[in-house]
């Protein structure tokens, strides 16, 4: 489930929601091929393209499911309109788990809040942090749907962004507002980036740009960056990992990222390596 529908269609295929045409130059219709394959197998399947159709969907015993809800990337939550009709990350999480819970052999599911990264790359801190709240809602939904006695949930990131919290603002100050002012008397924002399109060009006389007149409440406002880049760079600090459920105690301390899939396989008793099931009496 997600966006990117145009990547599945040839350039001559018009999008089902009128969002342009496909991107594929090989002429392939991967969506049609996927459905034809399920028909040939005699398998139950469902393909959906709107948030409302996903909300109405309850046939959780279906064998195969695909939902492509936007021609390109799905839109930020703060920019959603009723006409877009994109499902939320929480709604997609809920439906994915409802389907997977009907399968006898268990499941592994990967859920990504990719718009957090997109927002930070554009120095759009308000959108990035709102998408973090969308992730929080999705995790909450997952915790309510699964049995933590038999399901391991992991929440982590593959990298950080060079976003910093600056100044000594008063208690209760808007995190998206002004954090203080420099010795030049001009304000800076509480949230600032190391690089990115939010860089503010100095005035003609060399004076630092004055952000105090900017509309910082605008959902797509680009927060200050120290150096200009078309896209903000990632940062290099360690990221956290949160875990709950069987074998979650193995996520303690510092380790390389390639440790994570080994623990997943160990806890789920899958793969060729050491498995928890193998050491039980």
Predicted local distance difference test score (pLDDT) of residue 281: 67
Secondary structure letter of residue 234 according to DSSP: E
At 280 the pLDDT is: 72
The answer for residues whose C-beta is within 8 angstroms of residue 273's C-beta and 6 or more apart is: 262, 265, 266
Per-residue pLDDT reduced to its tens digit, 181-206: 999 999 999 999 999 999 999 999 99
Tell me which H or E stretch contains 157: none
Distances (CA, A) of 195 to 38, 72, 84, 110, 216: 47, 26, 31, 30, 18
- Total number of residues shown for the chain: 281
Q: What is the pLDDT of residues 158-175, one digit of tens each?
A: 999 999 999 998 899 999
Which tokens in the block code for residue 244?
Answer: 């709950």
Burial 228-261 (b: 16+ CB within 10 A, else e): ebeebbebeeeeebebbbbebebbeeeeeeeebe
187-189 vs 178-181, strand pairing mode? antiparallel
Instruction: Provide the 10 A C-beta neighbour count for residue 32.
Output: 13
229 SS3 class:
coil
**What is the predicted pLDDT for the residue at 100?**
97
Residues of the chain with pLDDT under 70: 281
Its pTM surpasses 0.85: yes
Do the Cβ atoms of 107 and 100 come closer than 8 Å?
A: yes
Instruction: Report how far residue 84's alpha carbon sits from residue 71's, in angstroms, rounded to the nearest whole number.
Output: 11
Query: Could you please report the per-residue DSSP string of 3-21?
Result: S-GGGGSBTTPBPTTSS-B
- CA dihedral in degrees (46, 47, 52, 57; nearest 10)? 10
Retrieve residue 204's tokens. Answer: 């003609």
């Amino acid at each position: 489930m997600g966006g990117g529908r145009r990547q599945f269609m040839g350039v001559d295929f018009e999008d089902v929601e009128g969002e342009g045409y496909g991107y594929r130059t090989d002429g392939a219709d991967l969506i049609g091929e996927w459905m034809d394959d399920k028909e040939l197998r005699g398998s139950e399947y469902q393909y959906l393209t709107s948030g409302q159709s996903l909300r109405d969907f309850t046939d959780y015993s279906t064998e195969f499911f695909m939902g492509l809800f936007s021609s390109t990337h799905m839109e930020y939550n703060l920019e959603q309109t009723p006409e877009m009709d994109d499902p939320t990350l929480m709604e997609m999480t809920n439906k994915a788990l409802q389907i997977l819970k009907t399968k006898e052999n268990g499941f592994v599911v990967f859920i990504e809040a990719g718009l957090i990264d997109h927002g930070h790359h554009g120095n759009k801190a308000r959108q990035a942090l709102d998408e973090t709240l969308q992730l929080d809602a999705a995790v909450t939904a997952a915790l309510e749907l699964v049995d933590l006695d038999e399901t391991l949930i992991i929440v982590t990131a593959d990298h950080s962004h060079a976003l910093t919290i600056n100044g000594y603002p008063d208690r209760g100050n808007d995190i998206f507002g002004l954090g203080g002012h420099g010795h030049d008397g001009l304000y800076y924002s509480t949230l600032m980036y190391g690089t990115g399109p939010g860089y503010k060009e100095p005035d003609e006389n060399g004076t630092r740009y004055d952000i105090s007149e900017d509309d910082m409440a605008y959902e797509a406002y680009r927060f200050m960056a120290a150096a200009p880049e078309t896209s903000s760079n990632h940062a290099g600090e360690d990221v956290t990992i949160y875990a709950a459920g069987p074998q979650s105690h193995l996520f303690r301390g510092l380790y390389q990222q390639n440790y994570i899939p080994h623990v997943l396989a160990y806890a789920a008793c899958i793969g060729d390596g050491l498995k928890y099931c193998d050491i039980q009496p």
